[in-house]
Each structure stands twice: as structure tokens, then as C-alpha cells.
Amino acid sequence: MKGLLIISGLGILAMLAEIFKFKKLLLPLVLIGIVAAYAFNFMEWRNGFGISYFDNMIAFDKMAIAFSGIIIATSFFWFILANDYFEEDSNLVDHFALVLFALVGALMLTAFNNMTTLFLGIEIMSIPMYVLAASKKKDMKSNEAGFKYLIMGSFASAFLLFGIALIYGATGSFDIMQIRTYISANADHLPMFFYVGVVMMLIAMCFKVSAAPFHFWAPDVYEGSPTLITALMSTVVKTAAFAAFMRLFLVGFANVSETWTGILSVVVALSLIIANFSAAMQSSVKRMLAYSSISHAAFMLMVILANVRSNISVDAIIYYSLAYSIGSIAAFGILYNVGRSGGEDISAFNGLGKRNPLLALCMTVAMLSLAGIPITAGFFAKYFVFITMIGTSYKWLLILAILTSAVGAYYYLKVIIAMYFKEQDSELAVPVEKSNSLVIIVTTILTIVIGVVPGFVAEMFKY
Amino acid sequence: MINGISINMYLMLSTILFIIGAIGVMARRNTIILFMSIELMLNAVNLLLVSFSVLHNDSSAQVFVFFIMAVAAAEVAVGLAILSMIYRNVKSIDTDLLSNLKN
């Protein structure tokens, strides 16, 4: 909770920076603030069952703190990566404030305990993201991405709200614990519209995590937005949306799981197939990463499916989002640097192995991690998901996931092949700023470290 | 029962309003009408929440309605800002022009 308050304070501070003329100091201040937020967040880990605030509307239990930690750490790397993105623009402070407020929404989503905070968290996170997606004012693609994101986002929010209203009508409460108790006490005579409400909330949340068949907005939005904003969307926003998805369905609606597990397993299967086959056909790396994020969404949804009955191995999803966030930050950081000089097409990576050996090596590790190939974090992330799936009745999904992962390896390897085995006319190295290469190298090392000692990291999240 | 009208009637009215809004979002090409349709969907939710609030004799849903109104206003403000930016670039607000991002 202190982390949430610190980041809200930072957002307000960022808005004041223009008036009191300390724009130059803002980035160091924000970085210090984020480190402080992380430290306070970490200290709350010892609280055991967590403390709830505002009449039990927000409760920071261990799950919330673990997800908040991932989000805050990712945003720390992101701010270092994005320092020159902010400098290019005249409205520097506005962007800072928008990103910070989006983070506030994300942290709220990890810890919500009431439908009100769920809705407010989603909106506080999404509205700044709409603006950021459209933040390249002259670029028509960016405008279009922002507009599509806005329409699809508010359409999904409307579904979410209608679902909330129906569930409130049936149970008489917005508190997810009270809803849970009410469901288990009155399981036999819940009105029909209650189940409709659960399904509508499921659809809305699938929209938010961009799972097929509600994914169609994601590739367009990811492609049109500025690359760094795409990085933020596919790490922070996605992690937060998953934390919310998990809490809502595993805590709130665990007792009516028959209503939603069937639909969810179809969603997972469709996401795996559509995302991996579409990604294999893309020529733009950014669009490929967008589709790959849909397939990663499917993996994380699989953990939710596996945990319906047991509710024990939540650590698999936390490990997965950690591995995925760090790998994505590295991949998008490299794409941002390469894209500035050569475009976002896969041919921009041609011959990168000769021109920037270090950058190419980092990209290789990031791609291998996203593909789930051993000694990287991505391998164990997938491995833990498979382990949790084995004991369940969704073995067909497990087989499908393994098969589509093979397709996945193909398009990740395409980038690696382009870097090492394809010639390019220009021998000029891609210029990379010091701070950017630092972030890229650190995240690459983290990817390997988390992959080498997976047990240690997974143990950390067990409780 | 609220004032002699069964809750199902309220439920039906707001469902119909919601569906009209949803069809509007999917079928119309004019972006201003898209925003209006989304507002209609949100107001259907508000109506439903308020009627359930009276039914349960619980005011928390009415507070929720205020949140929805505030957020809807913020969303439309952002949406119209983006729209005016698009208009400056292409001199039109028709959604057919928004198709630069495709496979």
C-alpha cells in the first residue's frame, strides 16, 4: 500500500515539475521514488495475511505484493529505457505523470478486493494508456492505435460493468469475499442472470488480457503505438490484468467454476492456435511480439484453469509473469534501438550479429526465453505451467500448448537467423545509448539468472 | 418489486438499452455515434445498478454509479481529444479511414 501511495505522490510531483521548473531533476526523482516504492512493498511481505485498507476495498496480501513487486521492478527498467523517449517530446512531464498514474492503476488491480476498486483500477490504468498509445501526434498510425484502444477498452469496460451490476443484483454486495460466501451459501438458487454476469465479466477480462477471440484489437494497437509504450502495455498492463483476472476468478468465482472453466478452456485453445500461427506469418517484429504476447496470455490463463480446484501453485503464474516481463523489456528495448535506424521489419535485424554483436546476443537470449528454450527463464516458466497442468483434466490443452510452442520456436528463431545468417548492405552499427544498453544487458543477465536458479525464485513466491 | 414494478422489468429495460448500445458500437461508422453508443451502454448499467440498489436497500451501488459517471466523462474527454487530433490529420472522423493497421 505504501508503494501505491508513493507512486501516486510521484505522479502528482511530475505534474508540478513544469510549474516549479525542475524538469531536469524529474527522472532521477522518479527512479528514486520507484526504488523506495519497491523497498516499502518488499517490507510489507512480512505481514502474513496482509493488511486491508478503505473498508476492505484494497488488501495487500502476499499475492498482491508479489505482483506489485514485478510491476514496480519492470517499470524501473522501463523508465531507464525510456529516458530519451521523454526528451524527444515537448510535453515531457505529462508523459511522466501519465505513466505513473497508469502504474497506480496497475498496483490497484493487483490488490483489489471489491468490484469498485477493480473497475477504478482498470480505468485508472487504461485511460492514461489510451493517451500514451496516441502520443505521437503527427503519426496517423499512433492516432489510430489510440482510438482503437479507447473504443475497444471502453466497450470491454461496459461489459465488465454490466457483469458487475448483474452480480451485485444477485448477491447484494460488491466485496469479492462476501460474493464468494454468498455463492457457496446459496449455490442452488442463484438467479439465471448471475451466471450471465459471470460470463460477461469473463468476456471483459479476456478483452483486457487480449486472449482470442477477443484479441483482434491487440496487434493493431501494439503496432501503432510508440515502441516503448508497447513495451509498457505488454509487460505492466498485462501483468496487472492477469493479477486481477486471477483474483476475480480464483477468489470471487471459485465456487461457480463450472460456469466459466469451459469457456476459458476454449479461449485458451483458440489463443494458442490463432496467436502462434498468425505470429509465424508476420514480417514486422513488433507485430510478431504482439501475437506472441497473446500466446503468453494463453499460458497464463492455463495456470488459472489448473488452479481452480487446488488453489496452491499460484507461484507458477507469478514466475511466468516475471520471466515474461523481463524478457519482453529486453526484446522491446532492442527493437526500439534497432527500429530507430532501420524500421521495425524483420529485415532490419539482418546482419546485426556482425554489426552489434552484444545487442544481437541479448536479442538471442530474449528470443530464446520467450520461445521457452532451456537455461533461460522462459523455459522454466513454461515448465512450471506444464507441471501444474499435468494433474488436471485439461491434458488436451497441455498437448496443444506443447505443439503450438513448436510453432512459436519457429518465428522466434526467424529473428535469430536474420541476425546471424543474413547479409545486409550497410555495415554501420546501430547506435545504442549507454543507459539503454545497460538496461538491455541487465535484463538479459536476469533472464539467464532466473533460468539457472528457477527453484530459488519460485520458492521465493511460495507461501 | 420496486413501486409495484417487478425487478425483471428494470432488468429487461437495461438489457435492451445495453444491446442497442452494443449494436451501435459494432455497426455505426461515425465516431461521434460510437461514443454515444458507449455512453448508452454505461447508462444502461447505471440504471440497472440503481434499481438493484433500491431492491437491496443498499446505497453502495448508487456510489458506484457516481464512479461510473466520472470515469465515463474522463473517457469521453480523452476520446474527443484523440478524435480532434485525428481530424487535424485526415480531415474526417469516419472509422473507415482508420484502417492503416492491418495484416
Per residue in A419-458, pLDDT (tens digit) is: 888 877 666 777 788 888 888 999 999 898 888 887 777 7
Per residue in A295-333, pLDDT (tens digit) is: 999 998 988 888 776 655 677 888 888 999 999 999 999
Contact present, A105 and A59 (Cβ < 8 Å): no
Chain A residues lying within 8 Å of B54, measured CB to CB:
none
Q: Quote the number of domains for chain B.
A: 1
The answer to whether residue B69 is domain-embedded is yes
Where helices occur in A307-393 by DSSP H, the ranges are 315-342, 352-355, 357-371, 377-390
- CATH number where B85 lies: 1.10.287.3510
Nearest to A161 among B42, B58, B102 (CB): B42
Q: Is B32 on the interface with A (CB under 8 A)?
A: no
Chain B residues lying within 8 Å of A158, measured CB to CB:
18, 21-22, 38, 41-42, 45
Nearest CA distance, B6 vs chain A (angstrom): 13
3-state secondary structure (DSSP) of residue A51 = strand
Residue A164 one-letter amino acid: I
pLDDT of residue A114: 92
For residue B42, give its domain range: 7-96
Q: What is the DSSP letter of A58?
A: E
CA–CA separation, A111 vs A121, rounded Å?
A: 9
Of chain A, the end-to-end C-alpha distance in Å amounts to 19
Q: What is the mean pLDDT of chain B?
A: 89
Nearest alpha-carbon partner for A419 in A334, A340, A321: A334
C-alpha B44: how far from chain center: 7
Q: If you measure CA to CA, which chain A residue comes closest to B49?
A: A165
pLDDT of residue B5: 85
pLDDT of residue A103: 94
The answer to whether residue B1 is domain-embedded is no
pLDDT of residue A89: 60
The answer to whether residue B103 is domain-embedded is no
Cell, residue A330: 529486453
Radius of gyration of chain A (CA): 21
Q: Is B70 on the interface with A (CB under 8 A)?
A: no
pLDDT of residue A71: 94
Q: Taking an 8 Å Cβ-Cβ cutoff, which residues of chain A contact chain B?
A: 115-116, 119-120, 123, 127, 130-131, 134, 137-138, 140-141, 143-148, 150-151, 154-155, 157-158, 161-162, 164-166, 168-169, 172-174, 193, 219-220, 223-224, 278, 281-282
In the block, which residue shows the cell 498509445? A133
Nearest alpha-carbon partner for A324 in A443, A226, A438: A443
The answer to whether residue B102 is domain-embedded is no
Q: Is B34 on the interface with A (CB under 8 A)?
A: yes
The answer to whether residue B101 is domain-embedded is no
Q: If you measure CA to CA, which chain B residue comes closest to A169?
A: B52
CA–CA separation, A124 vs B13, rounded Å?
A: 30
Nearest to A155 among B14, B38, B63 (CB): B38
**Taking CB atoms and an 8 Å limit, are B89 and A150 in contact across chains?**
no
The answer to whether residue B68 is domain-embedded is yes
- Asked casually if ipTM beats, i.e. exceeds, 0.90, the reply is yes
**Taking CB atoms and an 8 Å limit, are A134 and B85 in contact across chains?**
yes
Q: If you measure CA to CA, which chain B residue comes closest to A131?
A: B78
In the block, which residue shows the cell 529485415? A347
Nearest to A223 among B74, B98, B101 (CB): B101
3-state secondary structure (DSSP) of residue A175 = strand
The answer to whether residue B45 is domain-embedded is yes
Class of residue A437 by CB neighbours under 10 A (exposed 0-12, middle 13-18, buried 19+): middle
The answer to whether residue B2 is domain-embedded is no
Q: If you measure CA to CA, which chain A residue comes closest to B34?
A: A151
Ranges of residues in chain A with a pLDDT under 50 are: none
Nearest alpha-carbon partner for A420 in A378, A372, A359: A359
Contact present, A155 and B38 (Cβ < 8 Å): yes
